[in-house]
Structure 1
Amino acid sequence: MMILPSPQQLRYLLALAELRHFGRAASACAVTQSTLSAGILALERQLDASLLDREVGKRVVFTLLGEEVVRRARVALELLEGISQIAQASREPMTGPVRLGVIPTIGPFILPRLIPLVREWFPQIRLIITEDMTERLIEKIAIGRLDAMLLAMPCICEGLETIPLWRDPFVLALPSNHGLAKLPAVPLEMLTDERMVLLEDGHCLRDQTVDVCRQERNWAGSEPESAHTASSLHTLVRMVGENLGVGLLPRLAVDSGILDGTGVVARPVTGGPAWRTIGLGWRLKSPRTEDFRVLARTLKKLAPSNAEAVLLDEER
């Protein structure tokens, strides 16, 4: 009897193919690196074939056969997972675990309202939350470690189907004694000579901030080297409070009280489109697509009342 690869072996293989790094692939699969390596080695022995080229040093390089096995493994695993998901969805929609990814510039400010909302409307759903950067969350969806994610758009969302939920305007964070704090709203053109505080690389909000500031040709090419860098929105606010610069914050964070007790104030910005769009994304052709569409319609209830004018209609 032919011994077939196990779903877990296929998951290990796909994670390695997506991430090209044993450590990151093991982390994505929630196992140790030695466990993942042993699983792939066992698969090679089982197939009596080399899937990895081990003559190229530490780089992860697949053989031609390995690349073809990866392609077929992706299809096979999607079909296997689809069997259980379709069966469950047919019995009762909106039930079972939903592994939801959320980015750090959304999670702390929306989860306190999102979790009770889901429990109220879909008591049979069991949310499993993972917070991470956009790119890594998309990778986890691609290899089947997550089902869906809350993301900030626009983004490079290859392989995802997305639904916009609502627009989240940007506001300018600045010390209360800053000259611009006297204005009811700050034109983008007035930021030309201001030192900015940005999030570190990997945060989509960093790229979105740079794009907003480029609208008035304040920055040509990449952002200036003099910009300060923060690892989180809370750190960004503290740096602004210490007069290191000014920064753009999503209204979602400000409405959640991130400025309370910091000596930092927020002002609307004018002079060009200055917002991000909160959206829900999941893998293209997921068997649970209809569930996620229903979930998206419910999550729109989280839009703040002051966002009604820019609330997005998914049918538009």
Structure 2
Amino acid sequence: MNLRDLQFLIAVADLRSFGQAAERCFISQPTLSTQIKKLEEALGIQLFERSNKKVLPTEIGEQIIGSARRMLEEEQIIKELAASARDPLAGNLRLGAFPTLAPYLFPQLVPLIRRELPKIRLMLIEDKTDTLLRQLSSGQIDAALLAMPVEDESLQITALFEDEFLLAVACGHPLANKTIVTLDDLTGLPLLLLDEGHCLRGQALQICQTAGLSEQQDVRATSLETLRQMARAGTGITLIPAIAVREEDGLCYRPFQAPPPRRTIALVWRKTTARRVLFEKLVFSVLAIRRKALRME
């Protein structure tokens, strides 16, 4: 048994699929299946229940997978300690962000990181919040930009900025005539939301519950761009975070009466990391971008 075997084990556990796990690990499915089988034979136990439709960890498999995650995290800590001793502001930085933030913040952040941290090799990962948290815990990524709250005592969470929600409606919609809207203005109107698994959906649903709004059940978008197009076509109204607002996209954006609904964006990393200096530098970089954006508004 070696660390690579543990990576295979965790990939299968995360994805519940030998095929997808093989893709993640950049090996063939037969090779991965053989390695897992050898691991089971070496341990003398069955790690996974296999069927044509799904792969599930056994009870003892779950315990071993938990230990494997901790071992790989310790391996990552050793690597980080060595790299930090050489140069804390050099090496690879695997940075994640969720889909309703990444396309709007990454293009501003990358040039700044390349200028301020020239020895850093940046890898950007866009994925849903739950996936990013799993990758962060297992050491697959180094840090993530997430929307609060994040409830995990093993993670360092540093709030960066507030991102207000704006109402987005077709410019022919009656609410487009208002300068400021209230949540009461939305009562009875069809609200377009993202599909399950997107953190923006959860944030919007909280707003809906506060205002007594109802979701339009027959539309579940997987991207902000789809929400924009549906709202522009007059299918319904939607909420768009300020960082994602475009001035000329055929929609009318209206701010909410104070205090407006908003989300808090934070940088999150493992408390055990040896790269705290790097992440603190990254915090300052994001804050610099936000200050610049506020001056331009």
The TM-score, its normalising length taken from structure 2, stands at 0.88
2: CA distance, partners of 1:147 / 1:301: 21
Give me the whole-angstrom Cα distance separating, in 1, the residues matched to 2:73 and 2:5.
Answer: 14
2:10 to 14, 19, 31: 14
1:89-115: per-residue Cα shift (whole Å, max 9, x none)? 011112101111121111111121110
Unaligned runs of 5+ in 1: 309-316
Q: SS where residue 57 of structure 2 aligns?
A: coil
State the Cα distance separating 1:146 from its structure 2 match.
1.3
Match of 2:106 among 103, 111, 119: 111
Other-structure match for 2:39: 43
Q: Residue 212 in 1 paired to residue 207 in 2?
A: yes
CA distance, structure 2, for counterparts of residue 53 and residue 115 of structure 1: 41
Deviation at 1:297, TM superposition (A): 2.3
Match of 1:274 among 231, 248, 261: 261
Deviation at 1:85, TM superposition (A): 1.1
Change (3 A) 1:124 1:194: same
Q: Does 1:233 align with 2:224?
A: yes
Q: Deviations over 1:9-34 (max 9, x none)?
A: 11122233344443444454454443
Match of 1:224 among 191, 215, 220: 215
Counting only pairs closer than 5 Å after superposition, residues 1-316 of structure 1 correspond to structure 2 as: 5-45=1-41, 47-54=42-49, 58-64=54-60, 66-155=61-150, 159-216=154-211, 218-219=212-213, 223-226=214-217, 228-254=219-245, 257=246, 259-260=247-248, 262-270=249-257, 272-305=259-292, 307=294
Matched-pair contact (CA < 8 Å) for 1:200–1:231: yes
Q: Residues 55 and 186 from structure 1, CA distance in 2 versus in 1: closer, same or farther, beyond 3 angstroms? A: closer
* 1:304–1:200 distance in 2 versus 1, CA, 3 Å: farther
Instruction: Name the Cα RMSD after superposition.
Output: 2.5
Output the amino acid matched with 1:238.
Q
Q: Distance in 2 between matches of 1:70 and 1:214?
A: 38
Compared CA separation, residues 63 and 194, structure 1 to 2 (3 A):
closer
Bigger shift: 111-120 or 142-151? 142-151
* More displaced stretch, 89-98 vs 268-277: 268-277
Structure 2, unmatched stretches of 5+, are none
CA distance in 2, matches of 1:225, 1:266: 20
Greater shift in the superposed pair: 279-288 or 183-192: 279-288
Q: CA distance change for structure 1 residues 38 and 290 in 2, over 3 Å: closer, same or farther?
A: farther
Provide TM-score, normalisation by structure 1.
0.83
Shift in CA distance, 148/33, structure 1 to aligned 2, threshold 3 Å: farther
Aligned twin of 1:311: none
- C-alpha distance in structure 2 between counterparts of 1:225 and 1:92, whole Å: 52
TM superposition shift of 1:150: 1.4
- The alignment-based identity, stated in percent, is 36
2:73 touches 2:137 (CA, 8 Å); kept in 1? Answer: no
- What secondary structure, in the 3-state scheme, does the structure 2 residue paired with 1:269 have? coil
CA shift at 1:156, angstroms? 5.3
Give 3-state SS (helix, strand or coil) of 2:208's partner: helix
Q: 1:139 to 1:158 in 2, by over 3 A?
A: farther
Query: Offset of 1:227 from its aligned partner?
Result: 6.0
Distance 1:131 1:32 in 2: 25
**TM superposition outliers: structure 1 runs of 4+ over 6 Å:** none
Answer yes or no: is the 8 Å Cα contact 2:193–2:215 preserved in 1: no
